[in-house]
Amino acid sequence: MNKTISTFIALPIVWMTWSCGPSLKVSSDYDRNADFSGYKTFALYSQPDSAVSVSQLNHQRIINAVTAEMTGKGFREADGEPDLLVNPVAIVRNKVSVSSNTNYYGYGGYYRPYAWGGGYGAASSTTYNVDQYKEGSLIIDVVDARTKKLLWQGIGNSKIDTDVRDPDQRIREAINKIMANFPPGATSKS
């Protein structure tokens, strides 16, 4: 089985999750009918129509972090027929955020003058702020190797805004946070 992951879409995913800026927002979902206690082994897999576009260093960091997370939970990496297939996928999108602030009498957007009668002319100006950034998602799918059915999915989303100071640590922390609820209802395997 190929132990490399070739489903990464963009290098900025590493910047996304692991910068000191915005926090990583995490969610997960799973098949409520699946019995996770029967799964003991795993392998990393890649989809044939995907292309690797992260650096070789970051690619290996992600592989190492996912492998460490799975083995730390008591799963054993299998060379032959694994019980589970684990696939991290990165998605990065360009985003634009526009905000405005109207300045009434020098008080900014916090003061809105109201007067009785005809009122008086308000000297106002509006400024617009345009923020262009990248938003990224790291999705980790866990699939039953025999049936190819999705059993569990963890998603981490974050705004990408700075370079990574310690990519090894940031990647481990992000994957640990995304996979915190895997497997559902258990803390480790024996």
pLDDT tens, 55-111?
677 678 878 999 999 999 999 999 889 999 999 877 666 777 787 777 665 554 444
Cis peptide before 22 (omega within 30 of 0): no
What's the pLDDT score for residue 152?
Answer: 97
What's the pLDDT score for residue 131?
Answer: 75
What's the pLDDT score for residue 5?
Answer: 42
Residues 6+ apart with CB under 8 A from 75: 39, 40, 41, 42, 84, 189
What's the pLDDT score for residue 124?
Answer: 64
Distance CA 112, CA 1 (A): 65
CATH of domain 12-94+134-178: 3.30.160.670
What's the pLDDT score for residue 114?
Answer: 52
What's the pLDDT score for residue 22?
Answer: 55
Q: In what order do the strands lie in the sheet with 84-104?
A: 25-30, 150-160, 124-144, 84-104, 41-44, 76-77
Q: Which residues of the chain have a pLDDT value below 50?
A: 1-20, 49-53, 108-111, 115-121, 188-190
